[in-house]
Amino acid sequence: MRPIDRPAVRIIAALLAPVAVLIWWQAQSAAGGARALAFVPLQDVGASLVEMAASGLLAADTLATVSRAVTGLLFGSMAGILVGAAMAMSPIVDRIVGPLYHSVRQVPLLGWLPLIGLWLGNGDGAKLLIVGLAAFYPTVLGSYEGLRQVERRYLEVGVLLGFTPLQHFTKVLLPGGLPLILTGIAQAIAFAWIATIGTEILLGAGAGLGATMSHAQAQQRMDVILVAIVATGLLGFTLNHLFARLRQHLLRWQAAIA
Amino acid sequence: MTRASSLIAGVGPLLLILLLWQWASASGLFPPQVLVAPADVAATLADLIARGELGVHLATSLKRLIAGFLAGAALGLAFGTGLALSRTFEALFAPMFQALRQVPVLAFLPMLVLLLGIEEGFKIVVVAIAAFFPVALAAFDGVRGLPRSYLEVARLYRTPLVPLLGRILLPATIPPILTGLRLGLTRAWLVLVACELLAADSGVGQMMEMGRQMFRIDVVLAGVLVSGLVGFTLDRGVKLIERRQLRWKAA
């Protein structure tokens, strides 16, 4: 084993770069100067973390952000799966909705924000709509492609067995399309999370980690921003990780076939 | 189905929506701050083009996009290749890279505003960060995905670094890297528009934000249209390059 492959060496190596960044940061904050306000000392960040955790602000923001992401995700991905399934099963729907879907999708997600802001203001409705839209796009694609690539012979077996349309859907199409549908949902989770944080920062109203960051920016509170960034990263990682576990569980039959 | 009829099937629904929209706004059910006719949006767009306003905004946005993307993609390529080729480099930087990747780029906006201000540098850095991550990941996957035998042959012949990069690494890794570049470019555009909505004195995003503040829904919609067209052109452009690159593979 080369020295670099030893677990202990790897852990130390992994810590070197982050520690170097932290030391550099701390030195910047001690040096003063024009940007000293931005480089808050690390002990202040720690103190803010304790304070935000103790006052319940961190928990309230986390709850607001996560529930917004999950609500938007649920509505957006359910609509997306339905639209994708309709497009996959009906050539007419595909021809009518397909071009619309592909043209609307070209607009950068947050580019809708000024328009939706004009229509719905900067409250929860506007944010949920954007988060839902973020989840909608990839799930449409996932369910459309998932259901279309189900093998013809499986469908033929269903015909032989005299399946009703509902049985066709639940026993053949859905399991056959599941891997790609779940891939679509995994992407939807990532996009919905980005959209949640993005809309919260840009609209800056209400509760949530993004809104707190936006307020902290106005008050030049870098310590609060850093705590919120770390929380955002950890939560995003947890959401993706939980879904990856669920996906593995739902697709546990796949390894047996392949 | 023939080309013409599939074109009609594609454009028809869009035309229908435009007609419905025109009818709904002409019906007077909605105040003009909520809904303007597509004809008015077209007129506003033509006016913005004629007065050169749109050109200025678009040029500013594209300049930021290109500068930030080039920097971010170049760094991403170098970083991803480094991760894939050197175990030491990977041990040092991969964990931090993976941790930072968990944070949406947009979440760095407030921090970067405090660190860099809201001048041009801020926007270019944000675009560069947005492009860096997908390109680095694609470069890593592409180089890692190389069959080991290629590198072993190179080692056997003691191929120097430059031909190794130019003759072996580059051709074999172009397809995945192009995909990464395309992702990076669309990400960069998304983040740039968001950035301009947040803080800018010009650019397509700022034009939309000004439209919102002045309740000019026609300007906002013109901006939506332009940002969509830019996104489409960027995505399609790289896809065309990808297809040309892949020609030899099919044969």
Test B205 with A201 for CB contact under 8 angstroms.
Answer: no
Give me the percent of chain A exceeding a pLDDT of 90.
54
- For the segment A72-116, what is each residue's pLDDT rounded down to a tens digit? 999 999 999 999 999 998 888 888 888 889 888 889 999 999 999
Least reliable range by pLDDT among B16-30, B35-49, B99-113, B222-236: B16-30
- For the segment B67-86, what is each residue's pLDDT rounded down to a tens digit? 999 999 999 999 999 998 88
Q: What is the mean pLDDT of chain A?
A: 89
Please tell me the predicted confidence (pLDDT) of residue A258. Answer: 43
The size of the A-B interface in CB pairs under 8 A is 158
- For the segment B19-76, what is each residue's pLDDT rounded down to a tens digit? 888 888 887 777 777 788 888 889 999 999 999 899 999 999 999 999 999 999 999 9
The owner of tokens 């080692």 is: B155
In the predicted structure, residue B166 carries a pLDDT above the cut 90: no
Q: What is the mean pLDDT of chain B?
A: 87
- For the segment A18-58, what is each residue's pLDDT rounded down to a tens digit? 999 999 998 888 887 666 678 888 999 999 999 999 999 99
Q: Show the 3-state SS of chain B.
A: CCHHHHHHHHHHHHHHHHHHHHHHHHCCCCCCCCCCCHHHHHHHHHHHHHCCHHHHHHHHHHHHHHHHHHHHHHHHHHHHHHHHHCHHHHHHHHHHHHHHHCCCHHHHHHHHHHHHCCCHHHHHHHHHHHHHHHHHHHHHHHHHCCCHHHHHHHHHCCCCHHHHHHHHHHHHHHHHHHHHHHHHHHHHHHHHHHHHHHCCCCCHHHHHHHHHHCCCHHHHHHHHHHHHHHHHHHHHHHHHHHHHHCHHHHC
| Six-digit token string for A30 | 């001690």
- For the segment B121-137, what is each residue's pLDDT rounded down to a tens digit? 999 999 999 999 999 99
Higher pLDDT, residue A208 or B199: A208
Residue A36, Cβ neighbours under 10 Å: how many? 13
Distance from CA of A164 to the nearest CA of B (A): 30
CA atoms within 13 A on the CB side of B222: 28
In the predicted structure, residue A256 carries a pLDDT above the cut 60: no
Test A201 with B111 for CB contact under 8 angstroms.
Answer: no
The ipTM estimated for the assembled molecules is 0.86
Residues of A in contact with B106 (CB under 8 A): 110, 194, 197-198, 201
B142 touches chain A (CB under 8 A): no
In chain B, positions 15-44, which contact chain A (CB-CB < 8 Å)? 17, 33-34
Please tell me the predicted confidence (pLDDT) of residue A34. Answer: 67
What is the average per-residue pLDDT within B149-153?
78
Please tell me the predicted confidence (pLDDT) of residue B251. Answer: 42
Residues of A in contact with B107 (CB under 8 A): 197, 201, 209-210, 213, 228-229, 232-233
Please tell me the predicted confidence (pLDDT) of residue A155. Answer: 78
Nearest CA in chain B to A101: B14
Among B17, B86, B90, B224, most A C-beta atoms within 10 A, so best to mutate, is: B224
Give me the percent of chain A exceeding a pLDDT of 70.
97
Residues 6+ away with beta carbon under 8 Å from A57: A212
Residues of A in contact with B109 (CB under 8 A): 201, 213
Please tell me the predicted confidence (pLDDT) of residue A242. Answer: 93
Q: Choose among B33, B103, B109: nearest Cβ to A201.
A: B109
- For the segment A141-173, what is each residue's pLDDT rounded down to a tens digit? 999 999 988 877 887 888 888 888 888 888 888
Please tell me the predicted confidence (pLDDT) of residue A255. Answer: 62
